[in-house]
Amino acid sequence: MSPNLHPMINVAIKAARAAGAIINRAALDVESVRISQKQINDFVTEVDHASEQTIIEILLESYPGHGILAEESGQEHGAKDSEFVWIIDPLDGTTNFIHGFPVYCVSIALAVKGKIEQAVIYDPTRNDLFTATKGRGAYMNDRRLRVSKRTQLKECLISTGFPFRPGDNFNSYLAMMGDVMQRTAGLRRPGAAALDLAYVAAGFTDAFFETGLQPWDVAAGSLLVTEAGGLVGNFTGESNFLEQKECLAGSPRIYGQLVPILGKYSKFASAGEKAAVRQAASTGTLSQNGPATPPEDEAPR
């Protein structure tokens, strides 16, 4: 990592490692971990809560005037009107964790006046620490990170997430995945969005896209990607993605090639584009170039 770390990121690293220790201890006997269900296919464990509490205590001990936005407790802790807000996912990949599937992480980001300035993602299983400070680059342990150099989409490995909540438009998502799969070397679904973004920053994958995301899923990872030379936005290529629940990240060339493919599936797409997607999803038909654009005189349904 950078030899001259920002003081705030040092505190975040301390918090992430402390949370990682809690997670690793629980992973030794994961079947005894108490689990509850927030909604269908959306789980929370006592480990999520313990990890989050530890992170918040460490952050507020050093910065009592800062705000907190955490997955499990929301804005319950910290100052309510601070320009400094820590965005926390204490255990990203909870479903993986409770099944013993070793792909999960701790994610901590600091937003200053709404802009992400510091980021830490810690993978306790592999002891990999990803860090970034705005303007100072991104690192994995002691290695400076750069996004992939691939320029052709057909050579790229892309990561994503699957819809799992009630009300998710599964047919539309299947159409979108099919649109991407036929153009790439492969599509992967690891199950932890923060770690997916860290892997884009490291060049392990070439891009990532997903919908249904919350700020704590993407805040830290987005800074890692941009500090590693990549781009992050929504499916239509707009940079204001943090609150929009959809995220696309990748190297500049691959990002640019994915926007035209994914843009029609965005909630910000035009009515005609949305109608074409609904038609493709309902019939199961996809052209080589994705859902066909409807004639200009065809009214959206």
Asked if the structure places residue 14 within a domain, the reply is yes
pLDDT confidence bin for 31, thresholds 50/70/90: confident
How many domains would you assign to the chain?
2
Same domain? 185 vs 230: yes
Tell whether 42 and 131 lie within a shared domain: yes
pLDDT of residue 241: 86
Percent of the chain with pLDDT over 70: 84
* DSSP assignments along 187-200, one per residue: EE--S-HHHHHHHH
**Greatest pairwise CA separation for the chain in angstroms:** 62
* 82 CB neighbour count, 10 Å cutoff: 15
Indicate if 119 and 190 belong to the same structural domain: no
Question: Is the pLDDT assigned to residue 150 strictly greater than 50?
Answer: yes
Q: Which domain holds residue 11?
A: 7-138
pLDDT tens-place string over residues 59-82:
999 999 999 999 988 888 989 899
Q: Which residues contact 124 (CB under 8 A, 6 or more apart)?
A: 19, 20, 21, 23, 24, 27, 104, 105, 106
> What is the distance between the alpha carbons of residues 250 and 229, in angstroms, rounded to a whole number?
9
Sheet of 186-188: strand order equals 186-188, 157-160, 207-211, 246-250, 231-233
Residue 148 placed within a domain: no
The pLDDT value recorded for residue 288 is: 40
Least confident of 104-118, 153-167, 269-283: 269-283
What CATH number has the domain bearing residue 204?
3.40.190.80
Mean pLDDT of 228-254: 93
Tell me if 300 is assigned to some domain.
Answer: no
SS3 249: strand
Residue 33, domain CATH: 3.30.540.10
Span of 171-185, 237-251, 253-267, 276-290 with lowest mean pLDDT? 276-290
b/e burial code for range 210-226 (CB count within 10 A of at least 16 → b):
bbbbebbbbbbbbbbbb
Cα separation of 177 and 182, whole Å? 9
- Name the band, by pLDDT with cuts 50, 70 and 90, for residue 292: very low
- Determine the 3-state secondary structure of 113 from DSSP: coil
How far is it, in rounded angstroms, from Cα 245 to Cα 169?
14
Q: Of 115, 138, 161, which residue sits at a domain end?
A: 138
User: pLDDT digit string (tens) for 179-237?
Assistant: 999 999 999 999 999 999 999 999 999 999 999 899 999 999 999 999 999 999 999 99
Residue 291's pLDDT band (boundaries 50, 70, 90)?
A: very low
Are both 182 and 230 inside the same structural domain? yes
Evaluate whether residue 271 is within a structural domain.
Answer: yes
| pTM for this model (two decimals) | 0.87
146 falls within a domain: no
Q: What is the C-alpha to C-alpha distance for residues 85 and 70, in angstroms, rounded to an integer?
A: 10
Does residue 260 fall inside a structural domain? yes
Q: Are residues 64 and 175 in the same domain?
A: no
Judge if 78 and 18 occupy the same domain: yes
> Are 274 and 205 within one domain?
yes
Do 174 and 273 have their domain in common?
A: yes
Region 237-256 average pLDDT: 92
Per-residue pLDDT, averaged over 248-268, amounts to: 93
**Does residue 200 share a domain with residue 82?**
no
Compute the distance between CA of residue 142 and CA of residue 237 in angstroms, rounded to an integer: 31
Q: Establish if 145 belongs to a structural domain.
A: no
pLDDT bracket for residue 146 (50, 70, 90): very high
